[in-house]
């Protein structure tokens, strides 16, 4: 139960169950669907919400014929209530850990590139070594993963933290992984590869794919790419997730700036090649394992992190070897 005070200064008590019901109703915006999701009768759900409104002395919902909407009071209760539910689940987890009880489950999030390059290669080995631990993998962008972490839906996630500004969030703890150099790459028989050197002006003649999140200093160095383009020059596509573009990159004249971690296998196989760009600024992707400072992780999560770190070190060496194979002199600063 959670104690609070209403407008008349009288102490009231809300149950976590009531908060959970309100949050479910707020997400589904419909009483019958929310009641079905909660496995209770619709009148019971209605009475629970009415009791909360009576206890708090404020309206939580705006009711109309089509759907249910939160009032400003309701949005505040849902926001704070989500934090309370996550804290309660974390408390139960910590109590079990103190008793030496393993929960047997970890929930891991990852953005697409580390999900394929770091988690994919080790998850089978982890499950083989720890058959009693159920593992759930959630793939999404960094904003989705951050929200799920705060709501207690995942224990940890792996994502780029520098360009996304996750590193500035005080509630987070970070386990750094080796940084991954970003490279300009294209199909192996791209016309630009025949040139001794490539300038920004040359790049404007071809479709160019760039990450949506690029550090400001790098944007400044590449500013010529964003100037008004002549009719014969090609456009730019800004992407949040690289994987949907892989097909275009290998089958057309597109050039892309991507973390080497995402394309090392394609370069090693000869499908893609690294473009030698005159004056190419050093760009890195900074991937981290991210979790909450004030929430304990199960022991199996730390073991899983160790597996990810080992794979990240292996990938770092593989990337370095691939870059040396391409042209060691051109990318000397990236592989040291």
- What stretch of H or E contains 72? helix 72-98
Alpha-carbon span 249 to 252, nearest angstrom? 6
* pLDDT level of residue 7 (50, 70, 90 thresholds): very low
Ranking 226-235, 281-290, 302-311 by mean pLDDT, the lowest is 226-235
Q: Are 286 and 221 in contact (CB under 8 A)?
A: no
Q: Does domain 180-284 have CATH number 2.60.40.1930?
A: no
Secondary structure of residue 239 in the 3-state scheme? strand
What would the pLDDT profile of 229-260 be if each residue is shown by its tens digit?
666 667 888 887 788 888 888 888 999 988 88
Q: Are 206 and 233 in contact (CB under 8 A)?
A: no
CA-derived radius of gyration, the chain: 25
* pLDDT level of residue 224 (50, 70, 90 thresholds): confident
Q: Are 143 and 262 in contact (CB under 8 A)?
A: no
Two structure tokens written together for 110: 């990852």
Q: Which of 55, 48, 67, 43 is nearest to 3 (CA)?
A: 55
CATH of domain 103-179+286-318: 3.40.190.10
Query: Is the predicted pLDDT of residue 81 greater than 60, yes or no?
Result: yes
Q: Are 293 and 171 in contact (CB under 8 A)?
A: yes
Q: Where are the domains of the chain?
A: 2-96, 103-179+286-318, 180-284
Secondary structure of residue 160 in the 3-state scheme? strand
Query: Is the predicted pLDDT of residue 63 greater than 50, yes or no?
Result: yes
Secondary structure of residue 94 in the 3-state scheme? helix
Q: Which of the 8 DSSP states describes residue 4?
A: E
- Same CATH fold assignment for domains 103-179+286-318 and 180-284: yes
Sheet containing strand 156-160, strands side by side: 134-139, 105-110, 156-160, 287-292, 172-176
Two structure tokens written together for 83: 């934090």
Average pLDDT over residues 52-59: 90
Flag whether the pTM goes above 0.85.
no
CATH class of the domain comprising 2-96: mainly alpha
Query: Is the predicted pLDDT of residue 50 greater than 70, yes or no?
Result: yes
Q: Taking every pair of C-alpha atoms in the chain, what is the biggest distance, in angstroms?
A: 79
Write the CA distances from 218 to 13, 228, 236, 241, 302, integer angstroms: 53, 19, 16, 19, 35
Report residue 68: phi and psi, to 5°: -100, 135
Secondary structure of residue 186 in the 3-state scheme? strand
Q: Which of the 8 DSSP states describes residue 97?
A: H
**How many residues can be counted in the chain?**
336
Ranking 59-68, 103-112, 134-143 by mean pLDDT, the lowest is 59-68
Alpha-carbon span 307 to 310, nearest angstrom? 5
* pLDDT level of residue 2 (50, 70, 90 thresholds): low
Q: Which residues contact 238 (CB under 8 A, 6 or more apart)?
A: 209, 210, 211, 212
């Amino acid at each position: 139960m959670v104690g609070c005070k209403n407008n008349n200064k009288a102490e009231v008590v809300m149950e976590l169950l009531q908060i959970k019901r309100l949050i479910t109703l707020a997400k589904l915006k419909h009483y019958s669907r929310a009641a079905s999701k909660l496995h209770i009768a619709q009148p019971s759900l209605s009475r629970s919400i009415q009791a909360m409104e009576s206890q708090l002395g404020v309206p939580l919902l705006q009711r109309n014929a089509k759907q249910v909407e939160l009032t400003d009071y309701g949005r505040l209760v849902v926001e704070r209530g989500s934090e309370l539910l996550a804290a309660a689940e974390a408390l139960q987890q910590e109590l079990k850990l103190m008793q030496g009880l393993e929960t047997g489950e970890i929930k891991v999030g990852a953005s697409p590139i580390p999900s394929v390059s770091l988690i994919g290669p080790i998850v089978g080995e982890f499950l083989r070594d720890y058959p009693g631990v159920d593992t759930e993998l959630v793939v999404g962008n960094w904003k989705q993963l951050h929200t799920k972490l705060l709501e207690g839906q995942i224990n940890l996630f792996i994502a780029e933290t520098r360009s996304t500004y996750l590193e500035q969030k005080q509630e987070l703890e970070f386990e750094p992984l080796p940084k991954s150099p970003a490279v300009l790459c294209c199909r192996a028989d791209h016309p630009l590869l025949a040139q001794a050197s490539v300038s920004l002006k040359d790049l404007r003649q071809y479709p160019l794919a760039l990450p949506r999140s690029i550090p400001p200093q790098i944007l400044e160095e590449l500013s010529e790419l964003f100037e008004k383009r002549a009719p014969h020059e090609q456009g730019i596509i800004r992407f949040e997730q690289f994987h949907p573009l892989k097909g275009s990159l290998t089958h057309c004249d597109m050039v892309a700036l991507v973390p080497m971690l995402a394309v090392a296998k394609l370069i090693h196989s000869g499908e893609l090649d690294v473009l030698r760009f005159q004056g190419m600024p050093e760009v890195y992707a900074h991937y981290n394992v991210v979790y909450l400072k004030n929430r304990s992780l199960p022991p199996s999560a730390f073991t899983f992190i160790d597996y990810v770190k080992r794979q990240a070190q292996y990938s770092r060496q593989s990337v370095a070897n691939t870059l040396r194979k391409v042209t060691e002199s051109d990318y000397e600063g990236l592989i040291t």
